[in-house]
């Protein structure tokens, strides 16, 4: 019988990820040979440096979720040999009561696609990017020098609530959700695309994803447009997505509620390092009133002004002390909420000579039967990519509307370079 130890209970900001059994995948597309044995050793080293990753979740006597570690070995990496293109590539078996992290490596002809999956209660996107950078730093050292020198063992990351408490941040009068009040039960609404299903799958399932991307020149043009107008890339992308949503919804005079996470690592003092906390984010909100005269710059400016005001007043930093956003379904009486996470610029990653990182992608896995709607954005290798993870109907229609608006800003005559869907 193995010995086990309770690390801590999940905080309120983390519990929602346990209730939906939410795992997030970050995939790297590599050109060049990959040594899976060395990658397995690098993964074992990552678990040694961050032992909480080798833990699992259990409910206590009061049915609260807690992080538990034991002395059982992690099952290791999952290798799928798909060099001839005939293998069935399936995700790992996700069970948060067994393990909270997986590494699947799909070996291709001339390359590989490793994907690191981490339970969302342990890590947000920033945290997960840092983990995969660390993993490949170990791997690169192993295959180039035959040795690696890991850092000290890291403690379990703090929750958002702990991070805020240590900095004296407490609940204010406003939560940010007040911005949605004018739209609450104020309109005759069409059926929600975020309708949940009573049928719950037996294990977490991947949310279908559609996407579009720009080339380097178009991406530069979008970034320059945002910078020259003083609104920031996040504001421009949010405005594009919200106008596209308004178009897809039939161009009705119904506002579009918008909610987005804000990485507090860049806001708090003292700052929070990449892996020191699980999900150190606040939430920004905006109610987009759109009509036929609304253009991207006008809407982006209004979004940026609301963001700056709420950030300066401390509303965003303490927002999640008031409420827990739900990824599943839509609040009653409110038009469908749009959620977008801007992952910013994906940093370069160490790889051995002869191995090149050519693309990255995200995956969302939930143990729910429907109701998930989320946009993400990133810039990798100078190229902007928008992903739309949704259980809703016809996601490509939304992506096509976004692509058209982006291309119109970048260069009116140019189409986007790529689009697609993953189901």
> For the chain, which residues make up each domain, given as ranges?
4-145, 160-346+369-410
Question: Count of CB atoms within 10 A of residue 296's CB?
Answer: 23
* Whether 388 contacts 211, CB under 8 Å: yes
Which of 150, 127, 167, 120 has its CA nearest to residue 24?
120
Distance, CA of 166 to CA of 230 (rounded, Å): 33
Q: Judge contact between 394 and 214, C-beta under 8 A.
A: no
Q: Which CATH superfamily is domain 160-346+369-410 in?
A: Nonribosomal peptide synthetase, condensation domain (3.30.559.30)
Cα distance between residue 302 and residue 205, in whole Å: 37
Asked if residue 346 lies in contact with residue 38, where contact means CB atoms within 8 angstroms, the answer is: no
Sole residue written with tokens 């040795």: 147
> 4-145 and 160-346+369-410: same fold?
yes
Looking only at the bridges linking them, the beta strands covering 101-108 and 78-81 are parallel
Q: Considering the domain 4-145, what is its CATH architecture?
A: 2-Layer Sandwich (3.30)
pTM of the model: 0.94
* Dihedral angle, C-alpha 249, 233, 261, 170, nearest 10 °: -130
Q: Look at strands 4-9 and 356-366 and give their pairing.
A: unpaired
C-beta separation of 110 from 129 below 8 A:
no
| Coil, helix or strand at residue 59 | strand
Q: Which residues contact 26 (CB under 8 A, 6 or more apart)?
A: 115, 116, 117, 118, 125, 128, 129, 132, 360, 361, 362, 363
Question: Active-site positions?
Answer: 120
SS3 100: coil
Cα–Cα distances in angstroms (integers) from residue 276 to residues 68, 131, 375, in the given order: 18, 11, 26
For residue 122, give both structure tokens: 């342990």
Radius of gyration from C-alpha coordinates of the chain = 22
Q: How far apart are CA 220 and CA 183, in angstroms?
A: 36
Q: Return the structure tokens found at 86.
A: 């005939």
From first to last of the 423 residues of the chain, give the pLDDT tens digit: 467 899 999 999 999 999 999 999 999 999 999 999 999 999 999 999 999 999 999 999 999 999 999 988 899 999 999 999 999 999 999 999 999 999 999 999 999 999 999 999 999 999 999 999 999 999 999 999 999 999 899 999 999 999 999 999 999 999 999 999 999 999 999 999 887 777 889 999 999 999 999 999 999 999 999 999 999 999 999 999 999 999 999 999 999 999 999 999 989 999 999 999 999 999 999 999 999 999 999 999 999 999 999 999 999 999 999 988 878 889 999 999 999 999 999 988 999 999 999 999 999 999 998 889 999 999 999 999 999 999 988 999 999 999 999 999 998 545 555 556 554
Report yes or no: 205 and 272 within 8 Å, Cβ to Cβ: no
């Amino acid at each position: 019988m193995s010995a086990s130890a309770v690390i801590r209970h999940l905080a309120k900001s983390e519990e929602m990820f346990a209730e939906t059994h939410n795992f997030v995948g970050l995939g790297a597309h590599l050109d060049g040979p990959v040594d899976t044995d060395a990658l397995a050793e690098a993964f074992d080293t990552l678990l040694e440096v961050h032992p909480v990753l080798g833990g699992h979740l259990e409910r206590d006597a009061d049915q609260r979720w807690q992080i538990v570690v034991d002395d059982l070995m992690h099952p290791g990496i999952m290798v799928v040999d798909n060099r001839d293109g005939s293998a069935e590539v399936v995700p790992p078996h996700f069970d948060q009561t067994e393990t909270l992290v997986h590494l699947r490596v799909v070996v291709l002809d001339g390359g590989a696609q490793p994907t690191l999956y981490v339970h969302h209660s342990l890590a947000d996107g920033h945290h997960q990017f840092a983990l995969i950078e660390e993993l490949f730093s170990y791997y690169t050292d192993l295959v180039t020098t035959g040795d690696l020198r890991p850092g000290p063992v890291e403690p379990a990351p703090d929750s958002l609530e702990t991070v805020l408490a240590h900095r004296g941040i407490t609940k204010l009068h406003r939560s940010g959700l007040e911005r949605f009040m004018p739209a609450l039960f104020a309109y005759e609404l069409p059926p929600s695309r975020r309708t949940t299903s009573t049928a719950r799958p037996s294990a977490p399932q991947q949310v279908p994803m559609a996407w579009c991307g720009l080339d380097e020149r178009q991406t530069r043009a979008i970034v320059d447009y945002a910078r020259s107008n003083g609104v920031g890339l996040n504001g421009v992308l949010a405005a594009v997505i919200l106008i596209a949503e308004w178009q897809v919804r039939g161009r009705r005079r119904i506002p579009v509620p918008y909610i987005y996470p804000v990485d507090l690592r860049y806001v708090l003092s003292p700052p929070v390092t990449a892996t020191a906390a699980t999900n150190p984010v606040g939430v920004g909100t905006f109610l987009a009133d759109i009509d036929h005269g609304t253009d991207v710059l006008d809407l982006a400016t209004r979004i940026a002004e609301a963001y700056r005001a709420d950030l300066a007043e401390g509303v965003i930093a303490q927002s999640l002390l008031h409420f827990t956003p739900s990824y599943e379904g839509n609040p009653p009486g409110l038009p469908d909420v749009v959620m977008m996470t801007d992952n910013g610029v994906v940093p370069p990653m160490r790889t051995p000579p002869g191995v090149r990182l050519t693309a990255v992608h995200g995956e969302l896995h939930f143990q729910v039967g429907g109701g998930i709607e989320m946009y993400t954005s990133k810039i990798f290798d100078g190229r902007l990519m928008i992903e739309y993870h949704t259980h809703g109907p016809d996601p490509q229609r939304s992506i096509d509307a976004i692509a058209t608006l982006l291309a119109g800003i970048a260069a009116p005559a140019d189409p986007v370079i790529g689009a697609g869907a993953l189901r």
